[in-house]
Amino acid sequence: MQKKSITLTDNRNGNTYTYPVLEATRGPDVVDFRTLFKDTGLFAYDPGYTSTASCSSAITFIDGAKGELRYRGIPIETLAKEHSYLETCFLLLNERLPNADELQNFDLELRHRAFLHEGLRSLFAAFPDNAHPMATLSAAVTALASFYQEHLDMNNKAEYHEMAHRIIAKMPTIAAFAYRHSLGIPCIQPDIDLSFTENFLTMIRAYPGGKMHLGPHGHETIREVEVRALDTIFTLHADHEQNASTTVVRNVASTGAHPYVAIASGIAALWGRAHGGANESVIAQLEMIGSVENVDAFIKRAKDPDDDFRLMGFGHRVYKNFDPRAQVLKTLQDELKEELGLNSRLMEIAAKIEEIALNDDYFVSRHLYPNIDFYTGIILTALKIPKNMFTPIFVIGRTVGWITQWIEFKKDPESKIARPRQRYIGD
Which amino acids are annotated catalytic? Answer: 316, 373
Piece in contact with ligand ACO (CB under 6 A), picked from 22-30, 125-133, 136-144, 269-277: 269-277
Closer to ligand ACO by Cβ: residue 79 or 206: 79
| H or E, element range at 218 | strand 218-219
One residue of 315, 377, 392, 401 binding ligand ACO per CB under 6 A: 315
Q: Write the interaction track for ligand ACO spanning residues 341-370; mark x where CB under 6 A is met and - where it is not.
A: -------------------------x-x--
Min dist CB 265 to ligand ACO, Å, is 16
Q: Rule CB under 6 A: say whether 276 interacts with ligand ACO.
A: yes
| H or E, element range at 8 | strand 5-10
Closer to ligand ACO by Cβ: residue 278 or 350: 278
Q: Which residue is nearest to ligand ACO (CB)?
A: 315
| H or E, element range at 228 | helix 224-237
User: CA-CA distance, 75 to 69, in Å (whole number)?
Assistant: 6
Piece in contact with ligand ACO (CB under 6 A), picked from 186-194, 196-204, 270-278, 379-387: 270-278
Q: Rule CB under 6 A: say whether 371 interacts with ligand ACO.
A: yes
Do 231 and 84 contact (CB within 8 A), yes or no? Answer: yes
3 state SS of 146: helix
Closer to ligand ACO by Cβ: residue 238 or 372: 372
Min dist CB 241 to ligand ACO, Å, is 12
Closer to ligand ACO by Cβ: residue 124 or 271: 271
Do 226 and 340 contact (CB within 8 A), yes or no? Answer: yes
Beta bridge partners of 387: none
Min dist CB 365 to ligand ACO, Å, is 9
What count of other Cβ atoms lies within 10 Å of the Cβ of residue 414?
Answer: 8
User: CA-CA distance, 379 to 384, in Å (whole number)?
Assistant: 9
3 state SS of 91: helix
Q: Rule CB under 6 A: say whether 264 interacts with ligand ACO.
A: no
One residue of 42, 58, 274, 288 binding ligand ACO per CB under 6 A: 274
Do 83 and 229 contact (CB within 8 A), yes or no? Answer: no
Q: Rule CB under 6 A: say whether 312 interacts with ligand ACO.
A: yes
DSSP secondary structure string for all residues of 276-317: TTHHHHHHHHHHHH-SGGGHHHHHHHHH-TT-----TTB--S
Min dist CB 70 to ligand ACO, Å, is 17
Min dist CB 400 to ligand ACO, Å, is 16
**For helices 372-382 and 324-340, what crossing angle results, to 10°?**
20
Q: Write the interaction track for ligand ACO spanning residues 197-236; mark x where CB under 6 A is met and - where it is not.
A: ----------------------------------------
Q: Rule CB under 6 A: say whether 313 interacts with ligand ACO.
A: yes
One residue of 316, 378, 382, 401 binding ligand ACO per CB under 6 A: 316
Burial of 314 (0-12, 13-18, 19+ CB in 10 A): buried
DSSP secondary structure string for all residues of 47-79: GGGTT---S--SSEEEETTTTEEEETTEEHHHH
Q: Rule CB under 6 A: say whether 278 interacts with ligand ACO.
A: yes
CA distances from 64 to 26, 175, 325 (A): 12, 31, 12
Piece in contact with ligand ACO (CB under 6 A), picked from 135-143, 275-283, 342-350, 405-413: 275-283
Closer to ligand ACO by Cβ: residue 181 or 237: 237
Q: Rule CB under 6 A: say whether 372 interacts with ligand ACO.
A: yes
Min dist CB 107 to ligand ACO, Å, is 27
Piece in contact with ligand ACO (CB under 6 A), picked from 70-78, 107-115, 312-320, 397-405: 312-320
Do 281 and 273 contact (CB within 8 A), yes or no? Answer: yes
Cβ-Cβ contacts under 8 Å for 294 (sequence gap 6 or more): none
Closer to ligand ACO by Cβ: residue 165 or 398: 398
Q: Which residues bind ligand ACO (CB under 6 A)?
A: 274-276, 278, 302, 310-317, 366, 368, 371-373
